[in-house]
Structure 1
Amino acid sequence: MIHYEVTATFADDHTAHRWLAWLRDGHIAEVVRGGASRARIVCLDEPPRTFVVLYEFASREMFDAYLREHAPRLREEGLRLFPPPNVTYARRSGDVLWTHAE
């Protein structure tokens, strides 16, 4: 399983609220159609107006296919709608080594 996260930090509340609506109204569904099996939005306690979108992909192959076939278009859309300096983005990904749940 692959963990993929996108962190977004906003300069103002208005842009942050618009971005959250955009995520919920279609962007996350597009990532799931592109291969993600799960998505969550987390509002961090600090710094202010910082959100992390957490995605899970069932395999490295599915994640790589998402990066090739879907990510460029989705990233371009996000940058067009929410350009710097109003928001800064950071991305990280890695293999899930172990999960514990009760």
Structure 2
Amino acid sequence: MSFRYTVALTFTDPSTAGEWLAWMRDEHAAHVVQAGAQSAEILKMDGVLHRCEARYSFASRAEFDRYVRDHAPRLREEGLRHFPATREIQYERSCGEVIVRA
């Protein structure tokens, strides 16, 4: 079964959220796909001020584990160069296996 990885972000500054969305669209999402994800979706969430999600699909847990081992450290470092802790972004990561698809 396929595997999903989600990074949810909450921004205190709306301009930072806009910069992040542009960076994801223009650079980062494609880099994660090149590193092993099958697809990437970027969402601007309704009902929550300045909250976005990046959702990635992997072919399997093994492919996700390979991504985490071989590529995630470099890509996360790249993200922190663009958006350091001083930008006051709250990150939440979650992942799981797709059990049912209808």
Shorter-chain TM-score bucket reads over 0.9
1:46 is displaced (CA, Å) by 2.9
Structure 2: give runs of 5+ residues left out of the alignment: none
Structure 1: give runs of 5+ residues left out of the alignment: none
**Aligned twin of 1:70:** 71
Q: Provide the C-alpha distance between the structure 1 equivalents of 2:28 and 2:70, rounded to a whole number of angstroms.
A: 15
Percent of aligned pairs sharing the same letter: 48
RMSD: 1.0
Q: Residues 18-76 of structure 1: CA distance to partner in whole angstroms, max 9, x if unpaired?
A: 11111111101110011110111111123200001111000111101100111001111
Please give the residue correspondences for 1:14-93 in structure 2 after superposition, counting only pairs within 5 Å.
Answer: 14-84=15-85, 85-93=87-95
| Superposed structure 1 runs of 4+ greater than 4 Å apart | none
Q: Structure 2 length as normaliser, TM-score?
A: 0.92
Q: Would you say how many aligned residue pairs link Structure 1 and Structure 2?
A: 100
Q: Provide the C-alpha distance between the structure 2 equivalents of 1:46 and 1:78, rounded to a whole number of angstroms.
A: 25
What secondary structure is seen at the aligned counterpart in 1 of 2:38?
strand
Q: Which amino acid aligns with 1:76?
A: E
What secondary structure is seen at the aligned counterpart in 2 of 1:36?
coil
* Preserved CA contact (<8 Å) 1:15 1:86: no
Q: Provide the C-alpha distance between the structure 2 equivalents of 1:46 and 1:52, rounded to a whole number of angstroms.
A: 13
**Aligned twin of 1:99:** 101
